[in-house]
Chain A
Amino acid sequence: MAIKVDKDWRKKEESYGEIVKKYPTISPFIITQIDVQRRGVEYTRKALDQVDKTIHQTGKVGEADIPVSLLLRDGTSICTSIFSEAGVNAPLNQRDRYLVDVVDDRIVLVDEDQVIDEVFYWEKPRYFDKLTSNGTPMGQVVDARPQRFHINMNKYCHFWDTPGHGCKYCGIGASGQKFRGCANELVNFDEVREVMQEIIKEKGRFTGVVLTGGSILSGDELLDDELEGYIKTLQAVGTAFSTKKFPSQVNSTAFNERQLIRLYEETGLTSYTTDFEVFDEKLYQWICPGKAHYLPHEEVKKRLYKAVEIFGKGQVNTGIVSGVEMAEPQGYQSEQEALKMNFEFAEELASHGVGLKHDVWNVVPGSIFFRQSTPSLDYYVHLTKGFYEIMCKYGISTEMDNYRKCGMHASINMDRI
């Protein structure tokens, strides 16, 4: 897979081992999770020989069946990307990936010939390869991680309809284009109902469901069609439960108060997320121009605060694609300044009961930012620690988005102890 590595990158930042020593109160497992998400992985032939397609959750890269991701010994999921990076939009200026290899009959993460730790491949749900009555593999209707299932309600994001409006870190404009306006752009609600009848046979598998998808701007009022999509999907999911409410999260474009009330009252939804993506207002306008056009920074904030009133403290959070605030040329040039900005805004949100989470920015092929590079591991660990401390300071529960229900948010994983 094509990737251009800056051969001097290790000289420019502290190593994994140095960071583990620098942060003795941060779990080495969390630091591993962050760094693997930041740098990605490659698999040796021996590691791929351990893949059993009948057991493991895999994706195709070329001819190879690659594990979609990894589990650490503590149960933490590492969500790595497996997209093919061949082609002109392959990320540049990146770092070496971690190697997944087999040592002493165990699958391990390796960096510079040092074994970091043992890892495990995700095992797929039993429903995954079954077919709906339309003949669709159920795993294409309802996707899964080790302990949660999730539904991509809409496979295309309509911010990309207007040239220059797509979020600059996102590859959905390229990868989702094929679904635009197609019959399968939206999830099929009948198929969701069918899959749910299979999911309920898998006891002990799932602890929550997450719904997300591309933005739909249309409707009587902005986002009304997106709202309808989530309501219908949640109602289809809800056919499998004996209680009105079930552990669930919608991560949508920022709905207004009327829409949030409908979402809460007409479905079994328990928690709500709308992602800021980037906390700095000017960078939000530059990096997420479509969002900023329809939903100015201040408006997103107001809608989040309203969501806390409706769903309750601890049931609403917001995320950022951490690291994009340092994208060139308009981003912060100093990691310290970027962290300061993030913590100040995070504190403002948390003081109003909004929880915090951050994804580690993985430079996506096909995105406008495909030539950018991500910040240092030190930056991400510092951010993880800071977000967690702010959540603690304001007494915001992490349960709605914990390591079982998502797994990508290192700051939330710190709450395990």
Chain B
Amino acid sequence: MSEAIEGAGMGEYKNNVIPETIKKQVNDQSAVVVISAIGKNESIASEVAVKARIDEKDVLHYYELLESSRMQKNLVYSLWFDHPVTILVLTEEQQFSLRGKIYKALMAGYEFEREYEDILAEVDEDADLSTVWEIEIKEVEEVSYPAGRRREKQEHPYLMHMDHIYINPEQ
């Protein structure tokens, strides 16, 4: 558990506020961001983001570069039919699961054009940008194994194999 994560206790974090360290690592692109969304016929797509950022209002901006991708279609589906999307943020030390609701597909206008030019500069001139998906984060949960293990022991003390509490015959 990073000490920098305020408000987190007992090695876990579950809230609707994104920890500052996570925001920083998403925005400086040192974190890996994986998005998952449901689509037509209950198809689920997951994709590592080429780029994502979190703004000052805790809106996550997911950059989908491919117009014809399954993820693009699933994000449209999730917006159209009001399904949540899940974003996994992986840092060297921790893993966070963010549950969000899509607010908007930014794909035209001056703001989009700025984002488009940035993508060409950051990825390569051959890249395209389909959509910047603006996702309002509703729930944040630390899902790193150590945090999860601590949480399970605390909240579900009798879910285990019993050898963990056998007496040690050698003692």
Contact = CB atoms under 8 A, between A and B. Distances in A.
Interface string B95-117: 00000000111111110110111
A27 B112 CA distance: 24
Nearest to A73: B104
With most chain A CB atoms within 10 A of its CB, the pick from B39, B81, B115 is: B81
Size range of the interface on A? Answer: 20 to 34
Interface in B18-35: none
Interface stretch (A160-168, A201-209, A311-319, A320-328): A201-209
Contacts of A417: 39-40, 73-74, 76-77, 80
Contacts of B110: 55, 123
B120 A75 contact: no
A203 B128 CA distance: 10
A59 B39 CA distance: 38
A71 interface: yes
A233 interface: no
A28 interface: yes
A131 B116 CA distance: 26
A205 B115 CA distance: 11
Size range of the interface on B? Answer: 20 to 34
Given A27-B81, A205-B113, A416 B76 contact: yes
A287 B76 CA distance: 38
Interface in B99-143: 103-110, 112-113, 115-117, 120, 129, 131
A146 interface: yes
A204 B73 contact: no
Contacts, number: 55
B47 to A, nearest CB: 16
Contact of B108 (A29, A30, A73, A146): A146
B123 to A, nearest CB: 13
Interface string A376-417: 000000000000000000000000000010000000000011
A74 B113 contact: no
Q: Main SS of chain A's interface residues?
A: loop
B76 A204 contact: no
A123 B109 contact: yes
B117 to A, nearest CB: 6
Contacts of A123: 108-110
A203 B39 CA distance: 30
Contacts of B79: 29, 73-74
B71 to A, nearest CB: 12
A55 B103 CA distance: 23
Interface in A77-97: none
Interface string A111-131: 000000000101100000000
B104 A203 contact: no
A21 to B, nearest CB: 13
A75 B113 contact: no
Contacts of B103: 73
A147 B120 contact: no
A204 B116 contact: yes
B107 A404 contact: yes
Contacts of A202: 113
Contact of A203 (B80, B107, B117): B117
Given A28-B80, A404-B107, 19 more contacts: A27-B81, A29-B80, A71-B108, A74-B79, A74-B80, A75-B105, A75-B107, A147-B107, A147-B108, A202-B113, A203-B113, A203-B117, A204-B112, A204-B115, A205-B108, A416-B73, A417-B39, A417-B40, A417-B74
30 contacts: A28-B80, A29-B79, A30-B80, A71-B108, A73-B103, A73-B105, A74-B80, A74-B104, A75-B105, A75-B107, A75-B131, A120-B109, A122-B109, A123-B108, A123-B109, A123-B110, A146-B108, A203-B113, A204-B112, A204-B113, A204-B115, A205-B108, A404-B107, A416-B73, A416-B76, A417-B39, A417-B40, A417-B76, A417-B77, A417-B80
Interface of A: 27-30, 55, 71, 73-75, 120, 122-123, 146-147, 202-205, 404, 416-417
Report, nearest first, the 6 A-B pairs whose CB atoms are least far apart.
Answer: A204-B116, A146-B108, A27-B80, A123-B109, A75-B107, A204-B113
Interface of B: 39-40, 73-74, 76-77, 79-81, 103-110, 112-113, 115-117, 120, 129, 131
